[in-house]
């Protein structure tokens, strides 16, 4: 889209301005985590898992059967990621984290009876103490910290919903979360337990987690429509009732009709 704007539309219409889609920006925030070098061990694992399932209906059946034998009451197939479907990478990451012990056991069983080179790579990662530890630590971090990205992206992809005046509030919450993450040193009790499980020091991973949030913040701050999102809150009666300052119509002059409002509009 950006290439089309730059190479085709802009030369034809010099005054044209490219306004990137907000949902797309939020998706790029998520993709920033996928592309972080430290998370490549997770990215590769998820890609390998997808490859073992995507063309094998019988393996999907065996996976469900394995979960049933392990006592899982409502077994579900792994939600495979799709590059054209936003949030799907996070969905497979969440599923693998939540079922990690079962997945380790399943691939160990597959390695004995239905092995392939990809399955050997997966089992090799799980049997290597360092790699296996980093996989679980990074999956835990993603599970604990990516939920708001996923929820906000789902929110902004809703159709036929009057959400435009509420965008800024959601962005402020997201920005506050990301800003805190840039300096995070308290990773929570769940992460503490995982670090203790593998005998890894927190100091070795805090810079990684902070880098993830820095990458996310870079994507968020690049959005060019924040001033407009702030201004359209004027159409939310609840926002106007919060403080007297919110009723200053001239604060929203980025909206052309409010830059020089009529007397009737001011009275209204």
What pLDDT sits at residue 22? 60
Segment among 82-91, 189-198, 234-243 with least mean pLDDT:
234-243
% pLDDT > 90, the chain? 43
How far apart are alpha carbons 268 and 265 in whole angstroms?
A: 5
Segment among 15-19, 152-156, 205-209 with least mean pLDDT:
15-19
% pLDDT > 70, the chain? 72
What pLDDT sits at residue 34? 78
Q: Report yes or no: 97 and 91 within 8 Å, Cβ to Cβ.
A: no
What pLDDT sits at residue 16? 56
The mean pLDDT value of the chain amounts to 82
How far apart are alpha carbons 23 and 163 in whole angstroms?
A: 12
pLDDT in tens, 99-139: 999 999 999 999 998 989 999 999 999 999 999 999 999 99
Above 60 in pLDDT, residue 255?
Answer: yes
pLDDT in tens, 141-197: 999 998 888 887 777 766 566 666 667 777 778 888 888 999 988 889 999 999 999
What pLDDT sits at residue 153? 77
Span 75-103, mean pLDDT?
A: 90
Above 70 in pLDDT, residue 23?
Answer: no
How far apart are alpha carbons 55 and 3 in whole angstroms?
A: 34
Task: Using alpha carbons, list the distances in angstroms from residue 144 to 57, 124, 189.
Answer: 31, 26, 11
| Nearest residue to 212 (alpha-carbon basis) of 140, 263, 107 | 140
How far apart are alpha carbons 143 and 132 in whole angstroms?
A: 16
How far apart are alpha carbons 188 and 200 in whole angstroms?
A: 15
pTM for this structure? 0.78
Segment among 7-21, 28-42, 51-65, 73-87 with least mean pLDDT:
7-21
Q: For residues 100 and 225, which has the higher predicted lDDT (pLDDT)?
A: 100
């Amino acid at each position: 889209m950006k290439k089309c704007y730059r190479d085709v539309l802009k030369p034809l219409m010099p005054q044209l301005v490219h306004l990137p889609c907000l949902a797309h920006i939020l998706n790029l925030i998520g993709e920033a985590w996928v592309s972080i070098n430290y998370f490549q061990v997770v990215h590769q694992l998820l890609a390998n898992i997808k490859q073992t399932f995507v063309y094998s209906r019988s393996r999907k059946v065996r996976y469900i059967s394995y979960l049933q034998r392990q006592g899982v009451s409502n077994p579900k197939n792994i939600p495979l990621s799709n590059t054209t479907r936003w949030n799907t990478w996070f969905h497979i990451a969440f599923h693998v984290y939540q079922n990690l012990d079962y997945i380790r056991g399943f691939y160990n069983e597959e390695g004995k009876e239905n092995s392939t080179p990809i399955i050997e790579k997966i089992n090799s990662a799980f049997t290597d103490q360092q790699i296996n530890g980093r996989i679980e630590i990074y999956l835990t971090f993603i599970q604990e910290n990516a939920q708001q990205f996923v929820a906000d992206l789902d929110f902004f992809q809703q159709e036929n919903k009057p959400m435009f005046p509420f965008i800024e509030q959601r962005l402020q919450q997201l920005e506050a979360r990301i800003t805190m993450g840039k300096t995070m040193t308290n990773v929570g009790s769940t992460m503490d337990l995982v670090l203790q499980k593998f005998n890894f020091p927190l100091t070795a991973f805090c810079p990684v987690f902070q880098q993830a949030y820095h990458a996310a913040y870079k994507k968020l701050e690049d959005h060019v429509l924040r001033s407009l999102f702030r201004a359209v809150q004027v159409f939310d009666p609840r926002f106007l009732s919060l403080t007297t300052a919110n009723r200053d119509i001239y604060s929203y002059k980025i909206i052309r009709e409010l830059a020089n409002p009529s007397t009737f509009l001011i009275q209204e």
